[in-house]
């Protein structure tokens, strides 16, 4: 399976999953544009793959999130697919999670990806695809993850309903639910300590299985 000449926007390209997806998709021949929060790491990641175009955004700037797909369509000369791998965790019993942390979790994990996809729907052509990473947590939320899991579940429901409408326009939305991975994600939590999660799955294999192959398959269908 390849993606020769397919044009793909990677949102969260500085992250573990976003970085692996960027590299794997480039290996399949896709032309990619990168979006992330940190300009220096974006520049370095783009340079390591031959000088990919990049743009910064912050999850709290929802208008900026919605402008990412139109930007990618301009710099790539069209857009076939979007991958959204933005997120942050916080852990702890619900009574110990502050309202500020809960707002942060819902902004980064739900409102930002929703805004990115909302901005992408008018840009993607018939046959276009958006793969949005939620996570296995939607199906199996451990204790101590109520706010993070609720934000991911909200995103998953939004994708489910929006995906039904998008299908009428020939656009596929994929809700990617990888298990816990060794990307260091849990250790970057904005509050609390993660519950015992056990060893993480191999990120390369999980990104291939949950993100890249479903994206390529949907583009081909």
Residues near ligand NAP (CB under 6 A) are 12, 14-18, 36-38, 58-59, 85-88, 108, 133, 135, 178, 180-181, 183, 185, 188, 200
- Nearer Cβ to ligand NAP (61/169): 61
160-199 per-residue burial string, b: 16 or more CB within 10 A, e: under 16: eebbeebeeeebbbbbbbbebbebebbeebebbebeeeee
- Nearer Cβ to ligand NAP (110/219): 110
Q: In the bound complex, what is the minimum distance in angstroms from residue 21's beta carbon to ligand NAP?
A: 9
- Nearer Cβ to ligand NAP (28/177): 177
Q: In the bound complex, what is the minimum distance in angstroms from residue 108's beta carbon to ligand NAP?
A: 5
Residues in contact with 102: Cβ distance below 8 Å, sequence separation at least 6, in sequence order = 90, 147
* Residue 100 burial (C-beta neighbours within 10 Å; 0-12, 13-18, 19+): exposed
Q: In the bound complex, what is the minimum distance in angstroms from residue 60's beta carbon to ligand NAP?
A: 6
Q: In the bound complex, what is the minimum distance in angstroms from residue 8's beta carbon to ligand NAP?
A: 16
Closest by alpha carbon to 45, among 94, 95, 85, 79? 85
- Nearer Cβ to ligand NAP (127/177): 177
């Amino acid at each position: 399976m390849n993606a020769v000449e397919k044009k793909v926007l990677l949102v969260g390209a500085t992250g573990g999953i976003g970085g692996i997806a960027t590299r794997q998709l480039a290996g399949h021949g896709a032309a990619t544009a990168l979006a992330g929060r940190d300009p220096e790491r974006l520049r370095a990641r783009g340079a390591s793959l031959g000088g990919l175009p990049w743009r910064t955004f912050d999850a709290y700037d929802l208008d900026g999130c919605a402008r990412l797909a139109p930007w990618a369509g301009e710099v790539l000369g069209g857009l076939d697919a979007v991958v959204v791998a933005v997120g942050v965790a916080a852990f702890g019993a619900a009574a110990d999670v502050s309202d500020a942390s809960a707002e942060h979790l819902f902004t980064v994990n739900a409102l930002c990806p929703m805004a990115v996809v909302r901005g992408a729907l008018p840009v993607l052509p018939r046959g276009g695809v958006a793969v949005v990473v939620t996570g296995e947590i939607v199906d199996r939320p451990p204790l101590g993850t109520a706010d993070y899991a609720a934000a991911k579940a909200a995103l998953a429901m939004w994708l489910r309903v929006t995906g039904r409408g998008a299908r009428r326009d020939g656009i596929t939305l994929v809700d990617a639910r990888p298990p816990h991975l060794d990307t260091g994600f849990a250790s970057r939590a904005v509050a609390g300590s993660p519950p015992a999660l056990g060893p993480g799955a191999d990120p390369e294999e999980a990104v291939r299985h949950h993100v890249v192959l479903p994206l390529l398959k949907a583009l081909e269908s």
